[in-house]
Amino acid sequence: MFDTHIVVVGNVLTKPEWRRTTHSNQLVANFRLASTARRYDRENRCWVDGNTLRVRVSAWRKLAENVGSSINVGDPVIVFGRLYTRDWQDEEANHRVSYEMEALAVGHDLARGRSRFYRSRPAGTSTVEDTETDTVVGGEPAEPVADGDTPVRYGDGLPELIPGDAEPAFLEVMAELAEETAAQESTPEEDTPEESPAEQSATEETPAEPVTAEIRRPRRTKKQPVAA
């Protein structure tokens, strides 16, 4: 009912073994993983090995291919997946229990070394171009949009380049915009009327009225006679 997902940090004990299921014909890679705890011995003043967890890891499908070509014996790895137990009987009819883990993600432990990632190529897909298929989007019929109704895209409104000319750099475009802005600011404004000499002299001769602040004197308190 409930799955137990854990993360195990350890070392690879065995080389990945390739398997293929008989019913579904799916590829699977199995390897054993050991995770050993480390503790500090205060009496001997050194680090010693503690308890060890050994688990059988199985990777399926595309993860199995990448695990088989990337994991070797002794590699420090980090495995995330679903932990479960499997009951079985050996040749002597003894009851056995083994811990197994279905891996969902496997990677190298970069705290203990370096690694390099190579992205897997996606599987190729084939498409059939058809007029009826192009007119249906998400199961609903669709019509082409006119040029005037399309949203503005990046680069709209810019002049088209002449064939053979290089695309202008960002600094060149900014320099041209700065020159246009400076030219617009240098043109005189004709709409603003100039003041006449009489108005200028009246403005200069009219003195500003002094601002008188109201000064309030503190009220004196009457002195009380002192009894002899």
Q: What is the CATH number of the domain that holds 98?
A: 2.40.50.140
Residue 38 lies in a domain: yes
Strands (E), 109-202: 136-137, 140-141
Question: What letter does residue 27 receive in the DSSP assignment?
Answer: E
Residue 145 lies in a domain: no
C-alpha distances (whole Å) from 74 to each of 3, 35, 85, 109, 120 are 29, 12, 24, 12, 24
Alpha helices in 129-189, H assignment, sequence order: 131-134, 170-186
| CA–CA dist 18, 171 (Å, integer) | 58
Residue 127 lies in a domain: no
**pLDDT tens, residue order, the chain (228 aa):** 678 899 999 999 988 888 877 777 778 888 999 998 888 888 888 888 888 889 999 888 888 888 888 888 999 999 999 998 888 777 887 888 888 889 999 999 998 888 888 777 665 544 445 555 454 444 455 555 566 654 555 455 555 656 655 556 666 667 777 787 777 776 655 555 555 555 555 555 555 555 555 556 656 555 566 565
Residue 52 lies in a domain: yes
- Can you read off the two tokens belonging to residue 164? 């053979």
Residue 225 lies in a domain: no
Question: What letter does residue 190 receive in the DSSP assignment?
Answer: S
Residue 123 lies in a domain: no
C-alpha distances (whole Å) from 83 to each of 2, 86, 95, 118, 202 are 11, 10, 20, 28, 96
Count how many residues are written for the chain: 228
| CA–CA dist 177, 167 (Å, integer) | 16
Residue 134 lies in a domain: no
What's phi and psi for 205, nearest 5 deg?
A: -80, -25
Number of domains the chain is built from: 1
**Residue entry with tokens 């006679």:** 225
- Paired with 32 in beta bridges are 56
Residue 60 lies in a domain: yes
Instruction: Name the pTM for this structure.
Output: 0.50
What's phi and psi for 62, nearest 5 deg?
A: -65, -35
Instruction: Tell me the residue range of the domain where 89 lies.
Output: 9-108
